[in-house]
Chains A and B, each alone.
Chain A
Amino acid sequence: MKLSVCLISLFLVLPVVGDGHGEVVMDDYGREISLQSIPQRIVSIAPSVTEIIFAIGAGDKLVGVDSESDFPAEANDIKKVGTYISPSLEMIVVLKPDLLVVSDLTPLQVVNAIEERGIKVFVVAPERIEEIAESMRKLGVILGVKDKAEAAARDFEERAAAVEKKAALAREKPKVYLEFFPYWTFGPGSFGSDLIEKAGGLNIGKKLKSPYAEVSNEFVISENPDIIIITQGKHASTTISSVKERPGWSSINAVRNSRLYYIDDDIISRPGPRMADALEELYSILH
């Protein structure tokens, strides 16, 4: 009886061992991570990371997530370990994870403190949209779900490429103002800006000096965007009607032609699988 249990578990383990473990994967902080076996208990402390882990089919291994992780719905049933900026080390340690996956939103000091407790940390911090697929593949290797991750990554790339292709054929590029907080917009080097450009628009925020920047009435009015998009979500409360009433905004093309739209805050701000949704949605708004 015992022997057969041993044999069965051996067979269960064998293909796992054969799945390229012991492989060294470089995380997005350039640190080389190698794991002896495939992690079975993962804690994710970023909503984008949680979404990626579910998308590549490893969501069932999550035993803890940060308090902002709310997608997909299953994420809500997972134990919360605090915010991504200052998670509770104690909650993390108690969950006994064999891997912690974080984004670059978590302070390096926290990452170091967790590693000092003998828990491996893998940093997922894509900086451009194309790198999201790469993040999926890397996590696929680390989490032993290479094939599903490859499929998810390819699906992501194909959808993004399809939008870009259509956008390239579009006759004109409308000027877009995308606001995620009253008078705050996406500047150069941000995902929001990349998304607009890839969907065939011109981001007026691209002229600004930082990736996330505050703008004035004057700036937006003089740039005269053809389309205004406002994010909606837990952290966004601006409405289209309030934007129309801003001083001087009635002269803006987008307001005169009633081309104001909402978009889900999470899909344009979390560098995860739903950025493909964001691209498709932006394309349909823009063209």
Chain B
Amino acid sequence: MHLKSSTAFSIELLLLLLAFILSLLSGPSGPIGGQGYTADIIWDLRAPRAFLAVLVGGALALAGVIMQAIFRNPLVDPYILGTSSGSALFAAMVAPSPLEPFFAFIGGISATMAVYAIAWRERIETLLLVGLAVGTLLSALLSLLLFVRLSAFSSMLFWLFGGLSLATWQKSFFLVVVLVISVLLVFPFAMELDSLLLGEEKSQHLGVDVRKLRFFMLLVACMITSFSVSVAGIIGFVGLMVPHMCRRIVGPKHRVLVPFSVLAGGVFLLLADVAARMLLIPNELPIGIITSLCGAPFFIYLVWRQRNVKH
């Protein structure tokens, strides 16, 4: 039984607000009233960081929702399909440069299309394996790039670790635009995405041009992913976990699932970012470590459960 969407959204918005406040209060210079804290710290550092966490989390969750619908499988996300690694590699190749988001997009789309072209007619396991292989290959190339271009070593580390510690208002503004446009692009196709769950033939009967829809939606998912990678680096498993949990709470209808997942992604990444900056204070942990620590076991659990359902 799913929650009534008004109840679910109310609870979610409350959680988002609480997580946001928690994020504003957490930092090495202490919560409000703590030692050394000033209003500037909140405004210049914590607030843009909190906003960026909400936006990157929302973006990755949205990409995950789309990909899971297209491939009719809850095991895919932009990290598993190699989109994130492709984006990071291409952005790192030109870094530092204002063209980073553009190159991230080229890299993300190439990686995803390669995986899609190789494996889209195969079983889902093949798709996952190809995606992981391509992702691993691209990460290896990124490491190779680090070795070869040692002078640019340190500026490329950012892409390997990712993180929100360098958040600025400009980055947040950039991602707000991306996220709003993406949601507006996806929302009109909510019904079509729902129909994909019935299977290709049935949705074809309902008058949906499945191939076109798949291609267009995948393009949108790649765009959101690569732009969020270009501002925050590789952050894995958000797009995997969040939509899956949200489907449990509000059901599979995309009209509700899309906005609900976007907000939930925001809550999740806010909390992950608080952990990243507070666990080893004043050292910053890469946020990708936190999300992978949660996400990888979750992935294994999903695989295990799918198997048990089948047998």
Contact = CB atoms under 8 A, between A and B. Distances in A.
Interface in A77-117: 80-83, 85-91, 93-95, 104-110, 112-113, 116-117
Contacts of B29: 90-91, 94
Contacts of A93: 40-41, 44-45
A90 B46 contact: yes
Interface residues of B, number: 33
B157 A90 contact: no
B185 to A, nearest CB: 29
27 contacts: A81-B282, A82-B282, A83-B284, A85-B154, A86-B161, A86-B163, A86-B284, A87-B284, A88-B27, A88-B28, A88-B283, A89-B45, A89-B165, A90-B46, A91-B29, A93-B45, A94-B36, A104-B154, A106-B154, A107-B156, A107-B157, A107-B158, A109-B95, A109-B96, A109-B166, A110-B166, A116-B168
A238 interface: no
A58 B151 CA distance: 29
A217 interface: no
Contacts of B147: 210
A86 B28 CA distance: 14
A102 B49 CA distance: 23
A110 B37 CA distance: 21
Contacts of A81: 282
Contact of B150 (A86, A87, A210): A210
A28 B299 CA distance: 46
A91 B28 CA distance: 6
A211 B36 contact: no
Interface in B161-178: 161, 163, 165-166, 168
Most chain A beta-carbon contacts within 10 A, residue among B40, B41, B277, B282: B282
Nearest to B42: A90
A261 B160 CA distance: 36
Interface of B: 27-29, 36-38, 40-41, 44-46, 95-96, 147, 150-151, 153-158, 161, 163, 165-166, 168, 277, 281-284, 286
B45 A80 contact: no
A67 interface: yes
Contacts of B40: 93
Contacts of B161: 85-86
A77 to B, nearest CB: 16
B154 A108 contact: yes
Nearest to B171: A113
Contacts of A80: 282
A112 B45 CA distance: 14
Most chain A beta-carbon contacts within 10 A, residue among B156, B163, B166: B166
A113 B28 contact: no
Contacts of A113: 165-166, 168
Contacts of A106: 154
Given A107-B158, A109-B95, 18 more contacts: A67-B282, A67-B283, A80-B282, A82-B28, A83-B283, A85-B154, A86-B163, A87-B282, A88-B28, A88-B282, A89-B165, A89-B166, A90-B45, A93-B41, A108-B155, A109-B155, A113-B168, A117-B44
